[in-house]
Amino acid sequence: MDFAKISRRHLLRGSAALTLGSVLGVRSAAAADTTIGFIYVGSRDDYGYNQAHAQGAAALKKMRGLKVVEEEKVPETDAVEKTIESMVNLDGASLLFPTSFGYYNPHVIKMANKFPKLRFEHCGGLWSDKDPKNAGSYFGYIDEAQYVSGIVAGYSTKSGKLGFVAAKPIPQVLRNINAFTLGARLANPKATTQVIFTGDWSMPVKEAEATNSLIDQGVDVLTCHVDGPKTMVENAARRGAMVCGYHVNQSPLAPKAYLTGAEWNWEALYPKFVKMIASGEAIPNFYRGGLKEEIVKCSPYGEAVSAQARKHADDIKAKLMAGDYTIFKGPIMDNKGKTVITAGTDRGQKDPELEKMDYLVEGVIGATS
């Protein structure tokens, strides 16, 4: 009897909602000033790429008048178009953050053309003049933070052998490997970085194998560029190696082994974007920045980091924050002995040549193909 009563009441409510569905939908959308949709390619608690964005979304949830809706594990197919439309049609979202690189072309462009009054902010894409004006792409020069990690790693290694678990030999990843190695060689000119490419963004088994194999070869400090650094961090810590994190702060996973890390600072950027929109200020369609612009940041130092390492790293960090330091400063040789940046050439953070990087610098053990 009791059960019947409850279910009847709920059914009534359900059917009422059913008939009034669209009306309610509109009303609830109007109640909050702005609804913001976040779309992640993986799990939002991956201790990595997606969690970094989810932390940014969480920062928006704390702001007044905002409603944040999130959807995780959306593949880079037309599923993301449908998710965007669903957020627009059913949730009334007016600002969307499709956060995975592969969403941009053709999916985000298509949706931005379809909904010209809504704003799309995509992470990582290369917005060009041909793309819709209501779409924008933002990204950070996280190699600056990797450079600082490299300095700390260079001081912390005993064997002089560093390890890098990487996804694919694409420019963004190569730039991180190279910056990390250049930083490490600033601290220890004999340091080498052995790199292993797993072939894809989320390959936990291969990442664990790569971590073990690097440690077996004498590597004692590791970092990575994959979507979820958790596997590498936990395995390396278990094997007694030290780690530099990536994407978010992984120190809770390995409090003793964690030295520092290169993190995204979406918690700072997303509220900034929302405030810019609220004040009527246009967000540049192509938005980039590094440590100075607070788009990336470094994790706090772990207890294993020496005073000397802290001092050197802090020094470089301060220069990067001031904007008067160049990481890719010639002469730089690749690991095959060819000069890739000639003496006297400074390739600053915004240099488009760096976006096409296809080499590994001297000191990196590994090949791009």
Partner 1 sequence: MTTEAADPVEAVAVSPAAGPGFLQRYGTTIEYILIPGAALVGALAVFGIFVALFGKNPLDLYFYMYQGAFGTWFSWQNTLTRAAPLILTALCTALPAQLGMVIIGGEGALLIGALSATSIALAIPWAPPLVVQITMVCAGVVGGGLWITLAGALRQYRGVNETISSLLLVYIGLAILNHLVEGVMRDPSSLNKPSTREIGAANMIGSIPGTDVHWGLVFGVVAAFASYVLIYHTVFGFAARVAGGNIRAAKIVGLGVGKLILTICFLAGGAAGLAGMIEVAAVQGRTNANLAAGYGFTGILVAFLARQNPLAIIPVAILLGGISASGGLLQRRLGLPDASVLVLQGIIFVFVLASDALYGRIAFLKGKS
Among 58, 63, 66, 86, binds partner 1 (CB under 8 A): 86
Select 126 or 333, whichever has its Cβ closest to partner 1: 126
Amino acid at 61: K
H/E stretch holding 170:
none
Alpha carbon of residue 214 to chain centroid: 24
Q: Using CA atoms, how far apart are residues 312 and 187, in angstroms rounded to an integer?
A: 8
- Span 27-56, contacts to partner 1 by CB under 8 A: 43
Name the residue nearer to partner 1 (CB basis): 24 or 318: 24
Q: Is 22 in the site for partner 1 (CB under 8 A)?
A: yes
Residue range at the interface with partner 1 (CB under 8 A); choices 100-108, 157-165, 178-186, 288-296: 100-108
Buried b (16+ CB within 10 A) or exposed e, 219-240: bbbbbbbbbbbbbbbbbbbebe
How near is the Cβ of 15 to partner 1 at its closest, in Å?
9
Interaction between residue 113 and partner 1 (CB under 8 A) = no
Selected binder of partner 1 within 89, 113, 159, 217 (CB under 8 A):
89
Residue 329 φ then ψ, to 5°: -115, 125
78 touching partner 1, by CB under 8 A:
yes
Q: Binding residue for partner 1 (CB under 8 A) from 29, 47, 55, 91?
A: 91
Q: Which of 14, 252, 284, 300 binds partner 1 (CB under 8 A)?
A: 14
State how far the Cα of 87 lies from the Cα of 42, in Å rounded to an integer: 18
Nearest CA-CA partner of 264 in 111, 102, 46:
46
Q: What is the C-alpha separation between 219 and 201, in angstroms, rounded?
A: 22
Closest contact distance (angstroms) between CB of 17 and partner 1 is 6
Among 32, 58, 66, 72, binds partner 1 (CB under 8 A): 72
Element (H, E) at 362: none
- Cα 139 to its chain centre, rounded Å, is 8
| Residue 134 found at the interface with partner 1 (CB under 8 A) | no
- Cis check for the bond before 106: say yes or no (omega within 30 of 0): yes
Q: From the list 58, 76, 209, 351, which residue makes contact with partner 1 (rule: CB under 8 A)?
A: 76
Tell me which of 27, 61, 62, 73 binds partner 1, using CB under 8 A. Answer: 73
Alpha carbons 193 and 305: distance in angstroms, whole number: 19
Which residue from 58, 63, 69, 321 is in contact with partner 1, where contact means CB under 8 A?
69
Place of tokens 């530099």: 244
Subset of 297-336 contacting partner 1 (CB under 8 A):
none
Chosen residue from 32, 58, 66, 70 binding partner 1 by CB under 8 A: 70
Match 């390739």 to its residue by tokens: 347
Distance separating alpha carbons of residues 12 and 15, to the nearest angstrom? 5
Question: Which residue type sits at 78?
Answer: D
Report the nearest approach of partner 1 to the CB of residue 271 (Å).
21
| C-alpha separations of 230 from 121, 251, 333 in Å | 27, 10, 32
Which 149-208 residues touch partner 1, going by CB under 8 A? Answer: 168, 170-172, 199-200
Using CB under 8 A as the binding rule, the residues of this chain from 222 to 281 that contact partner 1 are: none
Q: Using alpha carbons, select from 148, 143, 209, 139 the residue that is nearest to residue 177.
A: 143
> In angstroms, what is the minimal distance from the CB of 265 to partner 1?
20
- Which residue type sits at 271? P
C-beta closer to partner 1: residue 39 or 182: 39
With CB under 8 A as the rule, give the number of residues binding partner 1.
Answer: 44
Which spans of this chain sit near partner 1 (rule: CB under 8 A)?
7, 10-11, 13-14, 17-18, 21-22, 43, 69-79, 82-83, 85-87, 89-91, 101-102, 105-106, 124, 126, 168, 170-172, 199-200, 355-356, 369
